[in-house]
Each structure stands twice: as structure tokens, then as C-alpha cells.
Amino acid sequence: MPELPEVETMKRDLSSMMVGRCFTGVTLHWPRAVQTPSPEEFCNRLQGLCIKEIDRRGKYLIFRLANGEALVLHFRMSGSLLLDSRNASDPYTRNTFHVDNGAGLYFRDPRKLGLIWLVPDENTVVGKLGPEPLDPAFTAADLGEWSKRYSAPIKAVLCDQRFLAGIGNMYADEALFAASLHPLRATNSLSADEVDRLYRAIRRVLEEAIGNYGASINDYSRPNGEPGTAQSMFKAAHRVGKPCPVCGTIIERIPIRQRGAYFCPNCQRNS
DNA sequence: CCCGGAACCTGAAGGC
DNA sequence: TGCCTTCAGGTTCCGG
């Protein structure tokens, strides 16, 4: 499930090979992924456009094009963007972007939940996202200010893209474990010390995961097909029934807002 | 504003 | 073995 570290890895891996290249066409096997414009217009307009730079905002991957427009992708649950031409015949390759060096960018997405936009202004897609957690301008004081506004469980708030951009289920669990905070803690009940712990935990967890090229939990892999290794560092996420690496207590999983929250009931007390 | 639930998807996993 | 149900989860939308 591509979250911030996985999309950041895609951005870095793809930038060296794709910046300066131009799209020669698109094959849409799953046109419903295209949000705007219409699939026909999407294919016509993208053809001939060249990539000026590749960026990331939250969990969105942004191709900034030389004509000022932006091709924006969101991978949701199962999407990935692959370079190897062998993916042309993969039944889960939903859409293919053909590039002027003869190569292709293969949008592989078994669950068909990923989304694609071609827009004159990328902010129509990503404009409502909260701050980037790794932006130097985002401080612990900012996190404290934001947190006062929410009474919902901290786990749910961390996953809310209007609060912070790019954190999903896995990294919210990891950050809360690293900060020794129970996922059900009311967000506005955090002390200044707890906010500071959480702030440092978020940044440490995300930076470490980027250093490990993201987590290959389900269908994600790097553009070259190699898996990321960040999942091997997980202490709580997706580890239900396994021992906490700190204290040995069995990791539990509870539903919060229809999603699984993994945590150590000993290290992350709800009080 | 807040919250819960459904919808979108399909492979995996569990029950009987 | 096999059919059927449920679950996973990011985002948006809808209703209370």
C-alpha cells in the first residue's frame, strides 16, 4: 500500500530515467482510473507532452510536464508503477504510458482502485492536503497546534490527509509505537511532551522507511521490480499475534474507524 | 462541525 | 475439495 515512503521511492527511482522523456501514447486497459479529462481526451492530450520533473505530495506522484500541466497518480491500495517491459503482458497492468525511448511505464493495480488525473493545475488534485511531515517548515509546534483541534483517536487523525499528508495505516501504527502512544488516545489530550515524542517518531519512522525503499507488504514494489525492505523494520504494523520487539507482549489489533490498528498493549498504554 | 457507514475493487483467507 | 462470506484499506460521498 503505497504511503509516503513508497511514493517517495518511486519519485526518486523514476526521476533519473524519466525526466526529459516525452509520452508517445497511452494504452488504457482500465479507463475508469482516469478521473479527468475523459479517457479519449486524456490519451490525445498526453501524447507528445514531456516530463520536466517528478515530485510527490502526500501519497500522490506528480509528473510536472513541460507545458505546465501535471499528470497525477494515486496508488490507493494495490497500485505500483513499473519500468520492466515484461509488465506489458501482466494481467494486472491496467494502463501503460509509452515513452519516447521505446520504454513504458506500467501502472499495475490488481484491485483497480488507483486514480489518474491530467490537469492544468495540480492543486485541483492535491490542494487540500495537510502539511508534509518531512518538510523542514513543519515543526513540533505545528503538530501541537493542529492536534488541539481534534478530539478523535490519534490513530484516525494521523491517517487523515487533511491533518498530515502521506501517512496511512502502516506508518501511523509505527509512529504511535515509536512514540509509546495508544492509538485510541484522544488527539487533543496529548501533552506537550507526547506531541514532541510523536513529532520525532513520525519523522524518524518515515525517514527510515524511505532509506529502506518503502515497505513491500502487498503489491508494492520499486519501479525496477525490486521489493522495498522497510517492512522488516516494522515493530507493530501487521504483526498481530507476534511478540513486541521491546517487551515481548503479544501485539494486538483493534478496529479504529473500520481499519486495523496494531499496537503493543504494554508499551502503548491508554492512560 | 462531527461521526459512521457505504462504495469502489479483487485476491486471500476462513468457515462449513 | 469447493462454495460462500468476509476482510483488507485510501479516498470520497452521503446521511444523521
Give the residue from A94, A82, A165, A160 showing the smallest Cα distance to A123: A165
pLDDT band with cut points at 50, 70 and 90 for residue A258 = confident
A183 touches strand C (CB under 7 A): no
Residue nearest to nucleotide B7 (CA to C1'): A113
Scanning every strand, the nucleotide with its C1' closest to A168's CA turns out to be C10
pLDDT 10s digits, A90-108: 999 999 999 998 889 999 9
- Interval A86-93 mean pLDDT: 94
Are A69 and A49 in contact, with CB atoms under 8 Å apart? yes
Q: Cβ-count burial of A145 within 10 angstroms (0-12 exposed, 13-18 middle, 19+ buried)? A: exposed
pLDDT at A222 over 90: yes
| Phi, psi for A130 (deg, rounded to 5) | -70, -175
Residue nearest to nucleotide C11 (CA to C1'): A76
Helix (H, G, I), strand (E, B) or coil at A73: strand
Among chain A residues 144 through 163, which have CB within 7 angstroms of nucleic chain C? 159, 161
pLDDT at A218 over 80: no
- pLDDT given for residue A219 in this prediction: 82
Alpha-carbon distance values, A260 to A5, A55, A161, A207, A256 (Å): 20, 30, 17, 23, 6
C-alpha R_g of chain A: 19
CATH numbers and ranges of domains, chain A: 4-126 (3.20.190.10), 140-263 (1.10.8.50)
Could you say which nucleotides of strand B lie within 7 A of any protein CB atom? 2-6, 8-11
Sign of CA dihedral A97, A52, A223, A227: negative
A231 touches strand C (CB under 7 A): no
Mean pLDDT of chain A: 94
pTM: 0.96
pLDDT 10s digits, A11-64: 999 999 999 999 999 999 999 999 999 999 999 999 999 999 999 999 999 999
- pLDDT given for residue A196 in this prediction: 96
Strand order in the sheet with A115-119: A34-36, A115-119, A70-74, A60-65, A51-57
